[in-house]
Amino acid sequence: MSRKCGRACRNTSWMSSPSGSRSARIPSAEKEMGPHMTDGGPDARVLALSARAEEVLNAHPRTRGLTASLPRADTSPLRIALLGPYSAGKSMLIAALRRLPAAEVERLVDAAPKTQEATPYPWNGVTLVDLPGTLSGNDEHSAAARHGVRGADALMIVTTSELPGEAETEAILRALDADGFADRSVVVVNKMSAENSDREVILDEIRKRLGPFADRVPVIPTDARDYVDAANDPELTDEHRELLVAESGIDALTAELRRITAPGVEGVRPKAQVCELIRVLEDAEQRWELDGEELDAAQTAKNAEGSISRAKEGVLDALERESEIAASRIRTAGGRAADGVSEKNGVVPVDIATAVAGELIDARTDFDVKFSSSVRAAFDALVAEHGDGVPEPEAWVNDVDAPEAILAAPTESPYERAIREAAEKAAKVGAKRLHEWIKKVAGEPGEAAANVANWLNKTRAGQKVLDAGGKITNGVGKFKPWGKIKAGEKVAGAAGKVQWAMAVMGPLMDVKSIAQDQSKWMAINKRRQALRHHFTEVALSQRNDLTDAGEQHLSEWIADVEQSLSGLTHPGAEISAARETALEGIKSLRDEAEKLVGPTTG
C-alpha cells in the first residue's frame, strides 16, 4: 500500500457517503455547526492522534513549526475548495451557485487571476473557497492554492471544455490520489456551451484522463455563464431562460455538492483531517532529510560504525572457527591417547603421551596465533580507514611475532626433551612434582622463567624455540636489549600452556591397577572410553573458555576504538540517533493514521 493519503484515504465504513439520492439535501448551517463530536468517534480518534503528533513534532526544532498545521477540533461549516487554472471560470461558478445578481457577479469575477489568497463564500450551510488560479506562472498563487487544498474538506476540481493539459491533469490526479480527495470531489467541466464543443467526446476524454478514478469521481458538465445570463438577462423569454438553466448543469452540480457534504461535519471532516495529518507527518519526514555538513557527519558516523562492525564480525568469526579447531584437535589428541592404551597394563606409552602433550600445547599456541592475527587484521583495516588514531589492541599473546610463537623446533630441542622426560617421569612417579615445577615457572616469571630462558638460549635449538625471528637474541648466550625480559615472558607463557596440557594429561599418567582376570579387556575398554570422554569434556570447556576470553578481549578493544573515534563520529552519531528516534515516532503515527482511514479499495 502506498504511504500517500490518497491510497490510504479510500472507501471506509465510518467516512463514506451514505447511500441515497444524489439530490439529498444538505443539513442546515445550524445543525452542521452544532457540537456533534462523540467520545470514541472518528473525530475524537483523529484529534487524539493529532495531539500525540504534536508531542512528537515538538520534540525537535526541525519539526516544531509543523505543529500549527496539525488538525484541531473544528465544528465550523464544511469547506469546499475550488481548484483549477485561473481561466476555468471558478469565480463564475461560485456566482452561479450563489444565484448572485448581475452587479455582484461582475465584482466577484473581476479579480482573477490577481487574487493571491483563498476567498471564502457562504453557500447552503457550507463554505465555498475560491482558490487562486493554478498554472498561471505565479508561484504565490500556486502556494496559496496548495495551502487551500490542504485545508479543504472536499474539492470542486474545475477544468474546461478545452480539456486539461498534461500539467493540469497531473495536478488533478495528485488531488484525487496523493491528497486523498477521490471520494470527496467532483470534477466540473465548465464552458461546455462553447462553439464546436461535442459534449460526449469531451466527457469521454476527461474520464480517460482521470484514469483509475473515472468511475469514482462524478464529472459534471457546466456552463456557469449561461446560468448567470439566464438569471440576469431581462430580454430572455421564460422558455429560453429555462433552457439555459437546464443546459448549464448548475442544478446538477448543486445536487452533487449536497450529496458529497450530506454526512455533515462529523462525517466528512474526520477523513479530511486524518489525510491532512498524514500529509503533515510526510512533511515532518522530509524535514529529517539530511544534507550538507549534517549529511557528511552522519555518513562519517555510519561509515565508522560499519567499519567497526566489520572488524568485530571478522574477529568473532575467526574466534568461533579457531576455538572449534582447537577443540577438535583436543578431541583428536584424546582419541589418540585412548587408542594407544596398552592392553597389557592399561598404560599410555611414553611416546604417545609426549605426542599428545605436544598436540595440546600446539593447539593452544596455534589458536593464540590465529586469533591474534585476526585482531591484528581488524586493527590494520581500521587504521587504513580512520588513521593512526585507532588504538592498538592489547596483545593476546606475548610481544613476539606470530612465527616465533611456534614452540616446536625442527629437531628435538631441550624444551621438547624436557616435556618428554617430564611425561616419562610423571608416568612413573605421578604428575604432582611436574605440576609444581610448571606452576612455579608460570607463577614467577621473573627469576624462574629467566633461568629457563638462559638455559634454552645456550643452544641453537633452544634459540629456535625462543627467537625464530631474531628479535630477542643476538646469538648463543646473548640477548638484545629487553630481549631477556621478553624471553622470560615467552617461557612463562609457554609454561602456562604446558601446565594446562599436563593437567589435561593427568588421567593418562594416573595409572591404576588393571584387573588381571577375565574382565581385563572390559576394563581397558572402559579406560579408553573414560579417556575419550575426558578429552571431549576438556575440548568443550576449552572452546567455551577461549570464546569467552576472546570476546572479552575483543570487547575491551572495540570500546577503546569507539572512544578514540568519538570525536570524529559523535556529531554525526548524535544527529543520526535523533533522526532515527524522530522517524520511528513519525512512522508509528502514520501507521495508526492509515489504520484510521481503513482498508483500501481499487
Give tens-digit pLDDT for 279-293: 999 999 999 888 887
Beta strand extents in 63-117 (DSSP E only): 79-83
Mean pLDDT for 305-325 is: 94
pLDDT of residue 28: 32
Angle subtended by helix axes 566-597 and 292-339, to nearest 10: 100
Higher pLDDT, 482 or 351: 351
Does 322 have pLDDT greater than 90? yes
**pLDDT-above-90 percentage for the chain:** 32
Q: How far apart are CA 407 and CA 360, in angstroms?
A: 12
- What one-character-per-residue DSSP string does 270-319 give? HHHHHHHHHHHHHHHHHHT---HHHHHHHHHHHHHHHHHHHHHHHHHHHH
Q: Which of 81, 50, 201, 232 is nearest to 148 (CA)?
A: 81
Q: How far apart are CA 322 and CA 562, in angstroms?
A: 26
CB 546 within 8 A of CB 325: no
pLDDT of residue 238: 86
Strand partners, 220: 188
Cα 155–chain centre separation: 38
Query: Coil, strand or helix: which one is 129?
Result: strand
Note if the pTM is more than 0.85.
no
Burial of 188 (0-12, 13-18, 19+ CB in 10 A): buried
**98 Cβ contact partners less than 8 Å away, ≥ 6 residues apart:** 121, 123, 128
pLDDT of residue 438: 46
pLDDT band for position 141 (cuts 50, 70, 90): low
pLDDT of residue 590: 92
pLDDT in tens, 365-406: 888 888 988 999 999 999 998 888 888 888 776 433 333 333
- C-alpha dihedral (477, 478, 479, 485), degrees to nearest 10: 30
Q: What are the cell numbers at 362?
A: 600446539
Does 602 have pLDDT greater than 50? no
Does 454 have pLDDT greater than 50? yes
Least confident of 127-141, 264-278, 381-395, 421-435: 421-435
pLDDT in tens, 581-598: 999 999 999 999 988 876
Q: Which of 267, 309, 244, 186 is nearest to 18 (CA)?
A: 267
Does 338 have pLDDT greater than 50? yes
How many other CB atoms sit within 10 Å of the CB of residue 101?
11
Does 89 have pLDDT greater than 60? yes
pLDDT in tens, 211-232: 999 999 999 999 999 999 888 8
Q: What are the cell numbers at 290?
A: 539530511
Query: Coil, strand or helix: which one is 156?
Result: strand
Q: Furthest-apart CA pair in the chain: how many Å?
A: 140
Burial of 435 (0-12, 13-18, 19+ CB in 10 A): middle
Q: How far apart are CA 480 and CA 470, in angstroms?
A: 9
pLDDT in tens, 507-517: 776 554 444 44
Does 485 have pLDDT greater than 90? no
Phi and psi angles of residue 273, each rounded to the nearest 5 degrees, phi first: -70, -40
Mean pLDDT for 2-30 is: 37
Cis ω before 270 (30° cut-off from 0): no
Q: Which of 147, 150, 178, 214 is nearest to 2 (CA)?
A: 178
Q: What are the cell numbers at 329?
A: 584437535
Q: What's the one-letter identity of residue 130?
A: D
Q: What's the one-letter identity of residue 504?
A: V
How many other CB atoms sit within 10 Å of the CB of residue 228?
24
pLDDT of residue 24: 32
pLDDT band for position 493 (cuts 50, 70, 90): low
Mean pLDDT for 487-493 is: 55
pLDDT of residue 328: 96
pLDDT in tens, 41-85: 668 899 999 999 999 999 999 899 999 999 999 899 999 999 988
Phi and psi angles of residue 189, each rounded to the nearest 5 degrees, phi first: -100, 100
CB 453 within 8 A of CB 466: yes
